[in-house]
């Protein structure tokens, strides 16, 4: 059973456009929702994270939107740049040192 479902699998966005990646989760006990960014040949690295006490978190061009009732959260990349081209993973976990459960990833390509 996949606990975190991510879509789309791949995404092509024009430079300057908005990239949107969505995730849905099943376990209502999850209380930590990070996004990881992975460049080719590298391991994933934490990009931004949110907890369910807020509905939105913004860091620069990256924003997480969180909808607790729908059990969904999304990553928005504003003014997308070619350097943002990477694979993005959403994840979820329960506080108390439980492991992160990852979505399957979205390969983003930003074209000029």
Partner 1 sequence: DAGVIQSPRHEVTEMGQEVTLRCKPISGHNSLFWYRQTMMRGLELLIYFNNNVPIDDSGMPEDRFSAKMPNASFSTLKIQPSEPRDSAVYFCASRRRETNEKLFFGSGTQLSVL
Contact positions vs partner 1 (CB under 8 A): 6, 32, 34, 36, 41-46, 49, 89, 93, 95-105
**Conformational region of residue 108, where left means phi above 0, alpha means psi within -120 to 50, and beta covers everything else:** beta
User: Cα–Cα distance between 81 and 83 in angstroms, integer?
Assistant: 5
Residue 43 C-beta: closest distance to partner 1, Å:
3
Closer to partner 1 by CB, 42 or 68: give it: 42
Residues 6+ apart with CB under 8 A from 109: 10, 11, 12, 13, 85
Residue 103 C-beta: closest distance to partner 1, Å:
7
Closer to partner 1 by CB, 32 or 85: give it: 32
Closer to partner 1 by CB, 28 or 97: give it: 97
């Amino acid at each position: 059973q996949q606990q975190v479902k991510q879509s789309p699998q791949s995404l092509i966005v024009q430079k300057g456009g908005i990239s949107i990646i969505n995730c849905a989760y099943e376990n209502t006990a999850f209380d930590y929702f990070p996004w990881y960014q992975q460049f080719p040949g590298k391991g994933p690295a934490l990009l931004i994270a949110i907890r369910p006490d807020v509905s939105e978190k913004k860091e620069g061009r990256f924003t997480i939107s969180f909808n607790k009732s729908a059990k969904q959260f999304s990553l928005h990349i504003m003014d997308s740049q070619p350097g943002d081209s990477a694979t993005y993973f959403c994840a979820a976990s329960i506080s108390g040192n439980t492991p992160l459960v990852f979505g399957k990833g979205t390969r983003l390509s930003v074209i000029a």
